[in-house]
Amino acid sequence: MKILLGISGGIAAYKTPELVRLLKKAGHQVRVACTRNALELVSRIALETVSGEPVLFETFTPRTHPGVEHIDLAGWPDAVVIAPATANVIAKLACGLADDFLTTVLLATPAPVWIAPGMNTRMWEHPATLENVQRLIGRGVGVIGPDSGELACGTSGPGRMSEPSVIVGILEEHFARPRPLAGRRVLITAGATREHLDPVRFISNPSTGRMGVALARAARELGAEVTLVHGHLEVPVPDGVVAVPAGSAIELHRAVFEWKDRADLLIMTAAVGDYMSASPAAEKMKKEALGATLTLQLVRTPDILAELAQSGNDPSGAGTAPRAPRPKLVGFAAETAGGDESRLLELARQKLSRKGCDALFANDVSIAGAGFAAETNQGVLLFADGHVVWVPQGTKDQVAASLLESVVASLLL
């Protein structure tokens, strides 16, 4: 595996030659990019000796080959590890800043990224640092540590960078996991559509997109190339996922049919509006002109799930050439079953039959911990062959992992 080690200017940088040595001993190719401050704390010669590669830190250097160095390096690794990751570099990564060679590479790389924080306890516990770390976790960045212990400043507490052997062990464990979606392409929809009545008003729903984003992150971790077609989201799109914004049901329909033939698996979690205005106003409707009541004429939006189930490469059905088999299709249904599992299962069966997809996950949004904007979810996954999997309550990341495990085993293997 090709690993790019990014080193920032924390005192734990002195441990990085040992980290490089252990990574190479484990059979990985290692290259090093660092900040200027890092080279005040660790020898460039030592890093180049143990890695066998030049240490890169200058944004502007004489060109020895065509191409753009930070872009070329960003596309090289299978994984990026930032160790130590200072509060400053974490903040830059969270905000998308690119003001030196290392952060420019980080902004350009499609590879999965891990950070191993290393800093003073008060810096680690500062709300800004913790918020930045949570933002990165939401994008799919892995966090290793920090540990608690004696720090270089003479105090003791959390903030100490994990030992090189621990970092290597966590990376090895991660990449040893099965990646059943390697080489597969997954298209996921997420978020709420907005059907405008005029430029400032719209009909929508409370979906945050959290479940769809969790599925995108889980599919990426299983090795898939992931495209996320999304409406309104209240959570960030994970790193390494192609994001395709689509604000309305019509836009979502257009984007899904544009992208679906490139996918092996379609997972439709988006909360798509069923109705839209028959004639949205071009300008803001003034309430003084509307009067005490407002009557709206609404028309049905396209039934994306049903159309996908019936489609091959020609969604209109007008072509004469034979259709290619469509991708496997998983639908989602937010139901109100009042906590009655048998009722939820019956609603799921009805919708699965009506839509014609290969599987459908239904959750009961009328119970605590399974509704819109909740951190958790639960429900039932029903397959077209009648197979039923009940998914217990867990975080949406846990539910996403469970759903993908069942879907992959039943539909793709």
The answer to whether residue 59 scores a pLDDT higher than 70 is no
> What integer is the mean pLDDT of 45-61?
85
When mean pLDDT is compared across 39-48, 66-75, 404-413, the lowest value belongs to 66-75
8 A C-beta contact, residue 219 and residue 185: no
* The pair of three-digit structure tokens given for residue 244, joined into one six-digit string: 């395709």
pLDDT of residue 348: 97
Q: How far apart are CA 18 and CA 98, in angstroms?
A: 28
8 A C-beta contact, residue 231 and residue 246: yes
Answering whether pTM is above 0.95, one says no
Partners of 360 in the β-ladder: 331, 382
Q: How far apart are CA 183 and CA 189, in angstroms?
A: 20
Quote the Cα angle for 332-335-337, to 5°.
Answer: 145
Q: How far apart are CA 299 and CA 276, in angstroms?
A: 6
Tokens 């900040």, residue?
Answer: 35
pLDDT of residue 315: 43
> What integer is the mean pLDDT of 369-378?
91
Q: What domains, with CATH codes, occur in the chain?
A: 2-176 (3.40.50.1950), 185-412 (3.40.50.10300)
Partners of 328 in the β-ladder: 265
Q: Considering the chain, what percentage of its residues have pLDDT values greater than 90?
A: 71
Q: How far apart are CA 227 and CA 85, in angstroms?
A: 29
- Position 17 confidence tier, pLDDT thresholds 50, 70, 90: very high
pLDDT of residue 154: 76
Q: Which residues are catalytic, by number?
A: 153
386 — phi, psi (to 5°)? 95, -10
pLDDT of residue 221: 86
Please indicate whether residue 19 or residue 223 has the higher confidence score (pLDDT): 19
The dihedral built from the CA positions of residue 300, 212, 203 and 248, taken in this order, carries a sign that is negative
- Position 147 confidence tier, pLDDT thresholds 50, 70, 90: confident
* The pair of three-digit structure tokens given for residue 150, joined into one six-digit string: 């004696």
- Position 313 confidence tier, pLDDT thresholds 50, 70, 90: very low
Task: Identify each DSSP E strand in 178-311 by its residue range.
Answer: 185-190, 195-198, 201-203, 225-230, 242-245, 265-268, 275-277, 298-300
* The pair of three-digit structure tokens given for residue 51, joined into one six-digit string: 């890695």
Task: Identify each DSSP E strand in 52-198 by its residue range.
Answer: 55-56, 79-85, 113-117, 142-143, 147-150, 156-160, 185-190, 195-198
